[in-house]
Chains A and B, each alone.
Chain A
Amino acid sequence: MKLTTKQLTLCALLTAMALALSYLENLFPLSLAIPIPGVKLGLANIVTVFALYALGAGEALLILLARCLLGALFAGNMNALIFSLLGGLSALGTMALLSQGRGLSVYGVSVGGAAAHNCGQIAAAVWTLGSGAPLYYLPVLLAVSLLTGGLTGLASACLFRGLGHTGLMNRGKADGHG
């Protein structure tokens, strides 16, 4: 994959934003609104959605990997890497597939991604614990992902509307050689 300087800059910027969003949502835990500890908004998913449309699946993957690695490094907890990677990769894979469907809006893509993210995290929990116990949480997490996916979808839609005039949405290529 060859990246133009502009694309590279955009990737770096988006990685930084994803990290910042992950940090931000820790400051305002959703668990205060929904009395289930551990429920997350998944704000970093907005970045993945955006990267997917604006740059493409390959670039979105790069950003995701960088975000997960750096996030784990900052937290000093490499154990968390398995969780964020499995969750993030499932989400990205699902959203890349869903975004091919012409009839789907960012809302459907976001919801699918949020659900896949939770499935991936549960899979990581089952794997590291060697116990099927976390599976019992999957239905609840899936239900919550409808809500969080809808919210990140809304945020993404607003983002696309706001950035529509910049030309970023044309995969950075329209004026990439100018």
Chain B
Amino acid sequence: MMRRLLLCVLPALLLLSGCAAPVDPDEARESIQVIAMDTAMLITTYGERSPAAAYACEDVIRDLEKQLSRTDPDSAVSRLNAAGTLELGELDEELIPILSAAEAYRRETDGAFDITIAPVVAAWGFAGGEEYRVPGEAELQELLERVDGSAVRVEDRTVTLGPGQAIDLGGIAKGYAAGKLTQIFNEYEVPRALAELGGNVLAWGDRPDGTPWRVGVQDPAHPDDRNALVGVLELVDSFAVTSGSYQRYFQQDGKTYHHIIDPATGRPADSGLTSVTVVAGSGAGGAMCDAYSTALFVMGEEKALDFWRSQQGGALFSLVLVTEDGRVVVADKTGQFNFVPEEGSGYTYETVS
């Protein structure tokens, strides 16, 4: 009977849908969904030129993917990994700024972020297309010897990798793409927009009602429940990027192995954290947030907070750390955003400065 009654709702909506209120011209907006870089991306732009801006965003993302994809054998990254060296063509120009940014973040984080971790990641089966497995100790040691981001050389327009090296830009590409979107939003005079690039969020401007964008931070304990949050970030003109061990993992012999590999050990980072969220203003660069979120996850709570305290210029980025023992640590000196704890999440909340 309930089903039958529910069936009733269908024609009602059909009948009444013709009576919907007209769209407010001030609310002109365009939403596009793109599957790229191994993830789903959703971009909503507002303003008069919102459709053109949204499609320009898609073009930029597709263009970046063509250059940076790990799975496309024709991408610049794939050609570089296969040959060990690559003379960049006209269409590969994005590689140079990304590689130099990656090298900068590697040095800043003392190697906790390193794009040459790719062979180790592949050995665990996290590179996609292969079965998950636990590599032997000898194999890991052999692979670890090749991990050294400083061996990647960019001279003029030629990129050269060290012997046996391969790079994976998965930890920086989406953030870099988010950064590129800010250029488009400026160019198309987009007053407000929200872009989700697989866990990388760019909150541009504010919400149509004039309040900050509300961006939830996923509860790592309930990765399958989209309504389970540790809290909500209230953001204006900001990036927020989360790295978490819950995002990709496999289990073997009762042990869980996640996808964030510590370049020092070659094993999934066992840092006591379950997720790291890095928040920064939209001028700071999405690539930085993306790379830092991975690196700080590897570092663990104490070293991550030390790194946050040591940042130059006083307040470049802020952190929300979720620990294995059920704490949420918020580190913010910028005062540019608000973190609203989720009631009933079961976490204890701490603020550090």
A residues with CB within 8 A of B: 35-40, 75, 77, 79-80, 82-84, 121, 124-125, 128, 133-134, 136-141
Q: A37-B8, A39-B8 are in contact. Are A83 and B13 (CB under 8 A)?
A: no
Within the complex, what minimum Cβ distance (angstroms) separates A131 from chain B?
10
Q: A38-B7, A141-B8 are in contact. Are A77 and B2 (CB under 8 A)?
A: yes
Say yes or no for B11: interface residue by CB 8 A criterion: yes
Contact of A38 among B5, B13, B15, B16 (CB under 8 A): B5
Contact of B7 among A37, A84, A124, A138 (CB under 8 A): A37
**Which residues of A lie under 8 Å from residue B2 when comparing CB positions?**
77, 79-80, 82-83, 125, 128
Say yes or no for B10: interface residue by CB 8 A criterion: yes
Asked whether, in the complex, the Cβ of B11 is within 8 Å of the Cβ of A140, the reply is: yes
Asked whether, in the complex, the Cβ of B1 is within 8 Å of the Cβ of A83, the reply is: yes
B residues with CB within 8 A of A: 1-2, 4-13, 15-16
The dominant DSSP class at the A interface is helix
The distance in angstroms between the C-alpha atoms of A83 and B7, with both chains bound, is: 14
The distance in angstroms between the C-alpha atoms of A84 and B7, with both chains bound, is: 16
Asked whether, in the complex, the Cβ of B8 is within 8 Å of the Cβ of A36, the reply is: yes
Given A36-B8, A77-B2, A140-B15, 17 more contacts at CB 8 Å?
Answer: A36-B11, A37-B7, A37-B10, A37-B11, A38-B4, A38-B7, A77-B1, A80-B1, A83-B2, A125-B9, A133-B13, A134-B6, A134-B9, A136-B12, A137-B9, A140-B8, A140-B12
Please, which residue of chain A has its CB at the minimum distance from the CB of B8?
Answer: A38
**Which residues of B lie under 8 Å from residue A138 when comparing CB positions?**
12
Contact of A121 among B5, B11, B12, B13 (CB under 8 A): B5
Please, which residue of chain B has its CB at the minimum distance from the CB of A82?
Answer: B2
Which 6 residue pairs across A and B have the least CB separation, nearest first? Answer: A137-B12, A80-B1, A38-B8, A38-B7, A37-B7, A38-B4
**Which residues of B lie under 8 Å from residue A35 when comparing CB positions?**
11
Q: A125-B6, A136-B16 are in contact. Are A75 and B1 (CB under 8 A)?
A: yes
The distance in angstroms between the C-alpha atoms of A59 and B15, with both chains bound, is: 40
Within the complex, what minimum Cβ distance (angstroms) separates B287 from chain A?
42
**Which residues of B lie under 8 Å from residue A36 when comparing CB positions?**
8, 11
The distance in angstroms between the C-alpha atoms of A138 and B1, with both chains bound, is: 16
**Which residues of A lie under 8 Å from residue B13 when comparing CB positions?**
133, 136-137
The distance in angstroms between the C-alpha atoms of A134 and B9, with both chains bound, is: 6
Q: A37-B11, A140-B11 are in contact. Are A83 and B16 (CB under 8 A)?
A: no
Please, which residue of chain B has its CB at the minimum distance from the CB of A134?
Answer: B9
Asked whether, in the complex, the Cβ of B8 is within 8 Å of the Cβ of A137, the reply is: yes
The distance in angstroms between the C-alpha atoms of A121 and B15, with both chains bound, is: 20
Within the complex, what minimum Cβ distance (angstroms) separates A139 from chain B?
8
**28 pairs from A and B in contact (CB 8 Å cutoff):** A35-B11, A37-B10, A38-B4, A38-B7, A38-B8, A39-B8, A40-B4, A75-B1, A77-B1, A80-B2, A121-B5, A124-B5, A125-B5, A125-B9, A133-B9, A134-B8, A134-B9, A136-B9, A136-B13, A137-B8, A137-B11, A137-B12, A137-B13, A139-B16, A140-B8, A140-B11, A140-B15, A141-B8
**Which residues of A lie under 8 Å from residue B1 when comparing CB positions?**
75, 77, 80, 83-84
**Which residues of A lie under 8 Å from residue B15 when comparing CB positions?**
140
**Which residues of A lie under 8 Å from residue B4 when comparing CB positions?**
37-38, 40
Please, which residue of chain B has its CB at the minimum distance from the CB of A37?
Answer: B7
Within the complex, what minimum Cβ distance (angstroms) separates A90 from chain B?
14
Please, which residue of chain A has its CB at the minimum distance from the CB of B17?
Answer: A136
Please, which residue of chain A has its CB at the minimum distance from the CB of B12?
Answer: A137
**Which residues of B lie under 8 Å from residue A79 when comparing CB positions?**
2
Within the complex, what minimum Cβ distance (angstroms) separates B4 from chain A?
5
Within the complex, what minimum Cβ distance (angstroms) separates B8 from chain A?
4
Please, which residue of chain B has its CB at the minimum distance from the CB of A29?
Answer: B4
The distance in angstroms between the C-alpha atoms of A38 and B11, with both chains bound, is: 10
The distance in angstroms between the C-alpha atoms of A40 and B4, with both chains bound, is: 10
Asked whether, in the complex, the Cβ of A83 is within 8 Å of the Cβ of B12, the reply is: no
Within the complex, what minimum Cβ distance (angstroms) separates B11 from chain A?
5
The distance in angstroms between the C-alpha atoms of A37 and B13, with both chains bound, is: 13
Please, which residue of chain B has its CB at the minimum distance from the CB of A75?
Answer: B1
The distance in angstroms between the C-alpha atoms of A83 and B6, with both chains bound, is: 11
**Which residues of B lie under 8 Å from residue A83 when comparing CB positions?**
1-2, 5
- Give the most central of B6, B7, B10: most A CB within 10 Å: B6
The distance in angstroms between the C-alpha atoms of A125 and B2, with both chains bound, is: 8
**Which residues of B lie under 8 Å from residue A82 when comparing CB positions?**
2
- Give the most central of A79, A83, A124, A136: most B CB within 10 Å: A136
Please, which residue of chain B has its CB at the minimum distance from the CB of A141?
Answer: B8
Within the complex, what minimum Cβ distance (angstroms) separates A31 from chain B?
8
Please, which residue of chain A has its CB at the minimum distance from the CB of B13?
Answer: A136
Within the complex, what minimum Cβ distance (angstroms) separates A37 from chain B?
4
Please, which residue of chain A has its CB at the minimum distance from the CB of B19?
Answer: A136
**Which residues of A lie under 8 Å from residue B7 when comparing CB positions?**
37-38
